[in-house]
Structure 1
Amino acid sequence: MDLTDFPGYRPDSVVQYADYHAEVDFLDELERIWGQRWGAQGIGRLRQVAMSPPTEVEVLSLYDEAPAFFAYGGDLPDLGLMREQHAHLMETYRSLGIEVREFVYPETPRSAYGVMKRAVSAAAGFVVNGGAIIAREAAPYWRGRSRYVSQYLSSIGCPILATVHGKGVCEGGAFTRMADDLIVAMLSTDANQEGIDQVRPVLERAGYTVWVARSPGPLHDFHPEVPGWMHSDMWIAPLDTRLALIYPPWCDYETIRYLRSIGYTLIEVPRDEQESHWPVNMITIEPRKVIMNEGSPKTRALLEKAGVETIEIPYDEVQRYGGGIRCTTMQLVRDPGPKVFG
């Protein structure tokens, strides 16, 4: 090895710390140290994902005893069909040249208080430029998923940039990556101000401008809209630079005003299709190419009119557990993509 390969080297001198620290970024050494350039920053070509096969915890009869508490609409999925649709999504990714890793729980997943619902939500691992942000979950029957996600990410060599702690609450679904330099966060049942405050500096250091939306939310009663009030990935999806699919009833108007002020064209999802099939909870494979749940012909027509290639797959059975395509996909690696401000 040539000593001049070391940054900060000067003959007969200690490390030139000031120059080395000022000139070499964490990302410059990421692949040398961690083996891969981790980051699913925006909507550049998706290269690698992880998914967690559905387990029996998604279909427990316990949920029928307190459906409102479990944010459950009273219709348990068929586990066999759920697994079949989940496997089909994995194969769809592979057919598009996307590497799919399996995140398998080492045991029956447990929350801090016993049962863990929605263990299949692999998007709890939220990877941006340089590594992952680990959530602190909102509901008691989700809390603890972060431990499994942390262990999994460590096992594949993905660095952890931050873990939400203290009284902070902040889940990965509360963020939608719009571009390499823009992310939409959402204050909601699943992300409080302290959680956003903890995560925001990490996001800004990764290169994002952070826009914070505000959500409605439940008090005592369960409403079918509840999943859409939890996470921004339920009501907005990036399609290309300054082009997005949106469902306005689950979004605050100031967010619409902001997106239009920075040049976004917004395509509105028809209400009947959003309420039945959640087409907004799609995955952007690359600019103007998406995968979404089948059964939304009006949405598909709107997308195709805008020049967006749409790949539809059956995912309605998986959706019954309380999440959709984006919820069950941990995005690990993307190519650099378009920017809004750059």
Structure 2
Amino acid sequence: MEESHRGILVFGARSLIRVRRARILVAPSPKGAGDDADRRGRFRPDGRPPRAAAKLPDVPPTYFDVVYSINEWMRPEDPVDTALAMSQWEHLVETYRRLGHEVLTIDPVPGLPDMVFVTDSGLVIDGVALGARYRTEQRAAEADHVLRWFLANGLLRPTRPRYINEGEGDLLVVGDIVCAGTGFRTDERAHAEVARHLGRRVVTLRLIDPRYYHLNTALGVLDDHTVAYLPQAFAPESLAVLLDLFPDAIIAEEADTRWLGLNLVSDGRNVVLPSQAQRLADRLAERGYTPVPVDFSEFLKSGGGIKCCTLELRGYRELRAGR
């Protein structure tokens, strides 16, 4: 179902979500009345276990370059050091493997310099895949290549969306909900499509600062109950939603987001983030997380970061084990 109040759209696939006075009220799902209460305000101290090892398909930056400008960060006149980009990407892959994750490789394609930012090309939950439809023509072909990879690797119901939808660039899974960005890239109508195809509740968040053109540049998911975000990147009604849903969130500063510090990847304990985002790393450590700094600065030339280069196949391991 779908309801709209004061510019906030929330879509519920399994249970009712209502918006009143910029607050979200979530009716309990059949799994139990405690699920949503646990999400609101629950803080897990030191000793938190990491999530199960993830399967992370990445695309090597073989053809990475800045040859056009489709966001506030891109300057084609600033040349990319391809060797440095490859070295930083390889270090990221090594870091994931050291943390126990399995990294899968999608072959890069000549002429698609932004394909390295694979997270924008889909969303996978419970082994079910929804592809992408890009807003800019420069990236449009990436979606087809990744969708074919989903199909070839046995993911369920790989589907190209009807509306513009830039994958995990704007769709971030937090526990049993999907926080969905809009304002610059993903069409708001795509959020209902996500709820229907993937069977999850979706909460719309509107971005207002073009420097943070995707949700994953302004909000990072730390675990199933906790996020970090930059308040000034969001419209007032969306900020009210974040305050209500995540009262224990970590509030980031622009000193960190100028390095795309929130474009991070967390397993619930270990948080892989740019090494330059030191203030955010300190806040994470204070809250019991283990910061794992990685220098990913060459990718800033395209407005990309660690999360941009990382797509997670949720439920893929269980899907393969059941065959």
Tell me how far apart the structure 1 counterparts of residues 310 and 224 of structure 2 sit (CA, whole Å).
Answer: 22
For the structure 1 residues 247 and 290, does the alpha-carbon distance in structure 2 shift closer, same or farther, using more than 3 Å as the test?
Answer: same
Tell me how far apart the structure 2 counterparts of residues 79 and 87 of structure 1 sit (CA, whole Å).
Answer: 12
**Residue 317 of structure 1: which of 277, 287, 298 is its match?**
298
Question: What TM-score, normalized by structure 2, do the two folds share?
Answer: 0.75
Tell me how far 1:288 sits from its aligned partner.
3.0
**Residue 213 of structure 1: which of 201, 205, 220 is its match?**
205
Report if the CA contact (8 A) 1:46-1:335 is conserved.
Answer: no
SS in 2 for 1:127: strand
Report if the CA contact (8 A) 2:55-2:316 is conserved.
Answer: no
SS in 2 for 1:169: coil
SS in 1 for 2:312: strand
2:270 matched to which residue of 1?
Answer: 289
Aligned partner letter, 1:92:
T
Tell me how far 1:103 sits from its aligned partner.
0.6
Tell me how far 1:68 sits from its aligned partner.
6.1
Does 2:151 align with 1:149?
no
**Among the aligned pairs, what percent are the same residue?**
22
Map residues 191-230 of structure 1 onto 2, 5 A cutoff: 191-203=186-198, 205=199, 208-216=200-208, 225=211, 228=212, 230=213
1:100 matched to which residue of 2?
Answer: 103
Tell me how far apart the structure 2 counterparts of residues 125 and 174 of structure 1 sit (CA, whole Å).
Answer: 10
Unaligned runs of 5+ in 1: 1-42, 110-115, 219-224, 337-342
**Residue 164 of structure 2: which of 164, 169, 172 is its match?**
169
For the structure 1 residues 299 and 54, does the alpha-carbon distance in structure 2 shift closer, same or farther, using more than 3 Å as the test?
Answer: same
2:65 matched to which residue of 1?
Answer: 59
Tell me how far 1:71 sits from its aligned partner.
6.0
SS in 2 for 1:290: strand
Question: What TM-score, normalized by structure 1, do the two folds share?
Answer: 0.71
Larger radius of gyration: 1
Map residues 1-342 of structure 1 onto 2, 5 A cutoff: 44-56=51-63, 58-59=64-65, 62-63=67-68, 67=69, 72-73=74-75, 74-105=77-108, 107-109=109-111, 116-123=112-119, 124-165=121-162, 168-172=163-167, 173-179=169-175, 181-203=176-198, 205=199, 208-216=200-208, 225=211, 228=212, 230-275=213-258, 277-285=259-267, 287-333=268-314
Tell me how far apart the structure 2 counterparts of residues 81 and 136 of structure 1 sit (CA, whole Å).
Answer: 30
SS in 2 for 1:92: helix
**Partner deviation per Cα, 1:14-46 (whole Å, 9 max, x = no partner):** xxxxxxxxxxxxxxxxxxxxxxxxxxxxx8334
**Partner deviation per Cα, 1:64-107 (whole Å, 9 max, x = no partner):** xxx467961353321110000001111111111211111113x4
Tell me how far 1:273 sits from its aligned partner.
2.1
1:34 matched to which residue of 2?
Answer: none
Tell me how far apart the structure 1 counterparts of residues 257 and 216 of structure 2 sit (CA, whole Å).
Answer: 13
Tell me how far apart the structure 1 counterparts of residues 241 and 209 of structure 2 sit (CA, whole Å).
Answer: 22
Q: How much is the aligned-residue C-alpha RMSD, in angstroms?
A: 2.3
Between 1:88-97 and 1:316-325, the stretch displaced more is: 316-325
Count of matched residue positions in the alignment of Structure 1 and Structure 2: 265
Report if the CA contact (8 A) 1:50-1:100 is conserved.
Answer: yes
Report if the CA contact (8 A) 2:191-2:202 is conserved.
Answer: no
Aligned partner letter, 1:185:
A
Report if the CA contact (8 A) 1:186-1:232 is conserved.
Answer: yes
For the structure 1 residues 243 and 269, does the alpha-carbon distance in structure 2 shift closer, same or farther, using more than 3 Å as the test?
Answer: same
**Partner deviation per Cα, 1:122-165 (whole Å, 9 max, x = no partner):** 11232111321101001110111111001112222222343112
Report if the CA contact (8 A) 1:121-1:327 is conserved.
Answer: yes
Aligned partner letter, 1:135:
A
Tell me how far apart the structure 1 counterparts of residues 73 and 297 of structure 2 sit (CA, whole Å).
Answer: 17
For the structure 1 residues 122 and 295, does the alpha-carbon distance in structure 2 shift closer, same or farther, using more than 3 Å as the test?
Answer: same
Tell me how far apart the structure 2 counterparts of residues 126 and 332 of structure 1 sit (CA, whole Å).
Answer: 8
Report if the CA contact (8 A) 2:171-2:179 is conserved.
Answer: yes
